[in-house]
Amino acid sequence: MNITYTPPTSPLTDEQIHFFRENGYFLWKKGMSSDIIDAFNRHIFDIRNQQPMPDWAACDETKKYALRLFNPHKHDSFSRQIMKHSLVRGALAQLMGNEAVCVQSMYFYKEPGSPGQASHQDYYYIKNDPMTMIAAWTAMEDLVDEENGCLWVIPGTHKLGLLPHGAVKNLEEHEHWTEETEGIDTSSQIPVIMEKGDILFFSELLIHSSNKNRSQNRWRRSYVCHYIREDSNVLHREDLRQKFLLY
């Protein structure tokens, strides 16, 4: 059975594509409207506010607005619609040279006081062949900055290949269960300040991290989807083998 679909738009300029190729990331300002983000935040809140919580979203009651939602796109239609956003689809097609498919999604709450994730490369956790993976990280707050735990990136590090990863060194700052890149000078990292609806696209080899949310009352909610080119396949991770079309 043949499936026909409308080709994606081409939102990125040649200059934006060049910036991504050189730096390993690109920030699209106001890629999604505030109305959509606000509705999605309310929807995610309602999912864990149900009694009982859906099995796929279930967690300890004390963590229901703290523990990330893993792969909501597999179970929830609104999450899939955000995952399929037309701007995201079009930008990914331009950067990958073909249609993208989604293999992972995560909704992060990151409440005040919660730790960040040490410097790492996504490919270390999600290996795919051929290597085509790009993340789309959407800000769900009015402001995401250094105080509430924004992302930090090291431009150009996607050209270094996969680096060794080892135990996290600063457990006050970062989650203990992850691993961090070794042999890299992080003094050149820069913060990515974002506003509600901004979308950060970045390469699977770009070294990035986040720090502890040091704000008193500001969360740092975000929705992060990982995409590969449709002819690529995830290796080793059985839980991420399923491909979700964007059309």
pLDDT of residue 5: 58
pLDDT of residue 8: 81
Q: Which domain holds residue 82?
A: 14-245
Alpha-carbon distance of 80 to 85, in angstroms, equals: 9
Report if residue 7 sits inside a domain: no
Alpha-carbon distance of 237 to 167, in angstroms, equals: 21
CB 101 within 8 A of CB 243: yes
DSSP of 2-54, one letter per residue?
----PPPP----HHHHHHHHHHSEEEETT-S-HHHHHHHHHHHHHHHHSSSPP
Q: Give mean pLDDT in consecutive 10-residue pieces for the chain, a chain of 247 residues.
A: 67 97 98 98 97 96 96 98 98 97 98 98 98 98 98 98 97 96 94 98 98 98 98 97 97
Question: Count of domains in the chain?
Answer: 1
The CATH number given to whatever domain includes residue 98 is 2.60.120.620
Among residues 224, 244, 223, which one has the least CA distance to residue 234? 244
pLDDT, tens only, 212-225: 999 999 999 999 99
Report if residue 181 sits inside a domain: yes
pTM listed for this prediction: 0.96
Alpha-carbon distance of 235 to 136, in angstroms, equals: 20
Report if residue 3 sits inside a domain: no
Report if residue 97 sits inside a domain: yes
